[in-house]
Amino acid sequence: MRALEPTLENMAMAAALLAKGGLVVVPTETVYGVAADATNPKAVERLYEAKGRPRENPLIVHIACLDDLERVASHVSPDARRLAERFWPGPLTMVLPKSDLIPDVVTAGLPTVAVRYPKHPVAASLITLTGKPLAMPSANPFQRLSPTRVEHLDPELLAKTDLVLDGGPCVVGLESTVVDLVEDPPKVLRPGAVTRGEIQAAIGRPLGTLPPGGAKGPRRSPGMYPRHYAPHARLLLVDRAPEGSFALVFGQPSGPNQIRMPKDPGPYGAALYAALHTLDSRKPEAIYVERPPATALWDAVRDRLERAAEPE
């Protein structure tokens, strides 16, 4: 399928397709998403089908104005309001009690809904043009690498969608931070570009920690599978990549199959999936990734690498 420039005409066409129950691939600042009208259960069914996503893995609902938060959530706490004011539009998803507007299929039967207000102008305008909240998971087949450029999109997934909007490379490059505000204290279910420290500073108190077993389990966050975000090749986390191997390295690359990665977590996160897609397309047996520092600022990158890696 041809990816279209996000001109006014093409955006209007995308909005019309969504309003009729279609699926559209959309650039956001985190990763490319595949969108459906979140209030249309049939469209959302098609979305799970297209991704091969298990029905127990709930979807994030995307809005493009603060007032819409009250339409998709039945209760907006003072913490939620503060976080929305501080980080929206941006890469933060909040889990809140859901309203009746959101059908059960979107939330996998949970009484809660995950909500985000994306910053990317194409995603935000498309939501506004459609006039509906959009359910929008990453535009990758279940458990594979998320796309951060249209060239990464999987042909089988594309065959099941109606239109692709090309917004160039995603600037954040990692999926949003997910914070659960239903129980007190709030907890981070998935680390992302908005850090734990920034959330604590915004709400003025410490966040809780997940029980042993992490974000897995039916209530906490059903979509947090231990294996996720994986390339086809085996991914091995190492201190130093073997010479000449397929690898993401911090120092001088040895050979054409090694990619030198940025030394800061923000730029590293933005480059990570593109680098893995590039090496994976050469069909190696294994990709070595040099372990990033064990500090809090690297939480999001480490989380994705650990889920993509072979267990030791």
**Residues engaged in binding ligand AMP (CB under 6 A):** 57-60, 95, 107, 110, 112-114, 137-138, 175, 178, 189, 221, 223-224
- Tokens read off for 296: 């809090």
Q: Do residues 46 and 130 lie in contact, with contact meaning Cβ atoms separated by under 8 Å?
A: no
The phi-psi region of residue 229 (left if phi > 0; otherwise alpha if psi is between -120 and 50; otherwise beta) is left
Give whichever of 68 and 247 is closer to ligand AMP, judged by the CB atom. 68
State the minimum distance, in angstroms, from the CB of residue 112 to Mg ion. Answer: 18
Q: Which stretch binds Mg ion (CB under 5 A): 57-65, 118-126, 135-143, 158-166?
A: 135-143
> For residue 191, is the peptide bond before it cis, meaning its omega torsion is within 30 degrees of 0?
no
Give whichever of 165 and 181 is closer to ligand AMP, judged by the CB atom. 181
Residue 161 binds: one of ligand AMP, Mg ion, none (C-beta under 5 to 8 A by kind):
none
Closest residue to bound ligand AMP by CB? 223
Neighbour tally for 205: CB within 10 Å = 10
Distance CA 311, CA 198 (A): 31
Give whichever of 86 and 307 is closer to ligand AMP, judged by the CB atom. 307
Q: Which stretch binds Mg ion (CB under 5 A): 8-16, 86-94, 131-139, 163-171?
A: 131-139
* CA dist 24 → 12, 19, 42, 51, 138 (Å): 12, 11, 15, 13, 12
State the minimum distance, in angstroms, from the CB of residue 11 to Mg ion. Answer: 24
Q: Which residues bind Mg ion (CB under 5 A)?
A: 138
